[in-house]
Every structure is written in C-alpha cells, then in structure tokens.
Amino acid sequence: MAIDTALWSFALVVGLLTLTPGLDTALILRTSALGRRRRAWGVVFGVQTGTLVWGALTSLGVTALLTASHLAYVTLRWAGAVYLVWLGVRMLRDTFQGLPERGATDESPLLTGQDSVTGGWRQGTLTNLLNPKMGAFYVAVLPQFIPEGASHFATGLLLTSVHIVLGLLWSAALIGFARVLHGWLRKPQARRLLDRITGTVIAGFGVRLALSD
C-alpha cells in the first residue's frame, strides 16, 4: 500500500468515526452553545491532544501492552466510566437544584466553568485519555494503514495528524452551529433541558463503558 493510498483510506475511516455523534460532540456543543467559545475550543484542543497521545503510543507499540493486559484495560475502563458517570450525574443533579435559574451568564462550573482555553483543554484531554476504546481502536486500525517498510512511528504520527485535522474541521462546524442555539439557551428552561440531555448522554456513555466487554 502506497503512503498516499494509506492516507486517503485512513481519512475515510476516521472521517466516518469523527462524524458519528458521541461524547466529544456533546461536550463541544453544550459548552459552545452556552457562549463559552474559548472553553469550547479548549475542549477541542484537549480531545485532539488525547488523540495525538493515543496515536503516538500506538506507533510506539505501548498501547498494545494495554490491550494485551486485561487488568490494565479494565482498570482504565472503570476509571473512565466512573469519571463520566460522575460528570453526568452532577450535571443532572444541578438541573434539579435550580442552578440554571440563576441567569444566562451564571453557569455551573461543572462542564462549562470560566471561559478559558486551559480549563476546556484539561477537560477534553482527560475525557479522551480515560477512554480505553480510543486506545483499542488505534491498536486495531492504525497498523493496518502503515505501508510495509515505512517508519512505524513517523507514519503513525502522520496518519494520526489526518485524524486530528478532520476532528478540528468538524469541531469548528459544531461550534459554528452552536452559536445558533445561544439565543434560545438564554431561557432557563431551555438551558435546563440541554443540561439534562447532555448529562444523560455523558452518564450513559459512562455506564456503557462500564458494561462493555
């Protein structure tokens, strides 16, 4: 397989993965829709930082050890599940305690916080790195697209960069779309509804991760 063919084929696979709605989509949309654009971009950069780490570790063969070790995989899986369920439940609890009624500019700090890139980056990175399925995906898929005789590490990083670029482009579209929702979310009832949907999605991902094989 030539390197250009590998790049286009890998772009198709991760492009479909990127477009599939998931936890990253929920976090980015919710944060951006509430007017926290800098924090939303921080989440985006954090998610892509996690992707880069998984890609680099896979290229070095480190994540193969994770998938080969049942104990290591289960430990990381449960850590990620607990973190996601905690985020989702806390968010749902806040909506029933009336926190969204405080005003359109007074947000709960749980998933939005201050409008800073740094805070969003920490959240996005942690969420991505605590998802062992990202590591399993890269171990299963990435080596198949590295041409025979090519540098495993360099080519792996190149392919990972394709995934990151596609992720950034899709995230930019999500943030742009979320601006349309910002006016509607100035209503406390609308914000409460969004928080309950997002909290349920996040907690649901955590439960699914915990129960996954």
Reported confidence tier of residue 168, pLDDT bands at 50, 70, 90? very high
- Specify the pLDDT at position 67: 65
Judge contact between 202 and 88, C-beta under 8 A. Answer: yes
Of 97-101, 113-117, 162-166, which range is least confident?
97-101
Is the CA virtual torsion 170, 54, 10, 69 positive or negative? negative
Q: Is the pLDDT of residue 28 over 80?
A: yes
Centroid of chain to Cα 212: 18
- Cα–Cα distance, 175 to 168 (Å, whole number): 10
Render pLDDT for 43-88 as a digit per residue (tens, 0 to 9).
999 999 999 999 998 888 877 666 667 777 777 778 878 877 887 7
Over residues 186-201, the mean pLDDT reads 75
Residue 111 φ then ψ, to 5°: -115, -5
* Domain spans, the chain: 3-211
Q: What is the pTM of this model?
A: 0.74
- Can you read off the two tokens belonging to residue 117? 């890139």
Local structure of 1: helix, strand or coil: coil
Residue 73 CB contacts under 8 Å (≥ 6 apart), including other chains: 66, 67, 132, 136
